Amino acid sequence: MNIMANCTRLTIQGIGILGNTISGLDLLNWCKVYNILVIPILTYRVQVWYTEHNQKGLIHKLQVAQNESIRKIGSVFKTTLLNPLHNLLGVLPILCILPKLMHSYTLRL
């Protein structure tokens, strides 16, 4: 999990050069980049390790990495509340993404 969280942080830092609050990508394009680049890295091989039971530590590491990335995308302060930020950006928390991915995986099987 540390590897996925670290790769997510490095990806966000790397795409941070695409723009800042004055010039560069707007919020809609940032959300597209997030969904295309960051979510697959954050949820890499989730079908193998995710069981929904006794994995609070693992999920917490992924949630912290996701929180850092949505703060970067939203260009907000560290003290900004996360639930309104998730709603503003239209990004689901990792606790909602993982069961959704598992459900789609089982449907494919």
Q: What is the pLDDT of residue 93?
A: 92
Q: Which residues contact 11 (CB under 8 A, 6 or more apart)?
A: 37, 38, 41
First and final C-alpha spacing in the chain: 25
> At residue 59, does pLDDT exceed 60?
yes
Which residue would you say has higher pLDDT here, 12 or 107? 107
Average pLDDT of the residues in 68-75: 86
Among 22-26, 75-79, 86-90, the range scoring the smallest mean pLDDT is 22-26
- Give per-residue pLDDT as tens, 20-39: 656 777 778 888 888 888 89
Residue given tokens 């995308």 in the structure block:
73
**CB count in 10 Å sphere of residue 70:** 23
Amino acid at 80: T
Asked if 101 contacts 39 with a C-beta cutoff of 8 angstroms, the reply is no
0.75 exceeded by pTM: yes
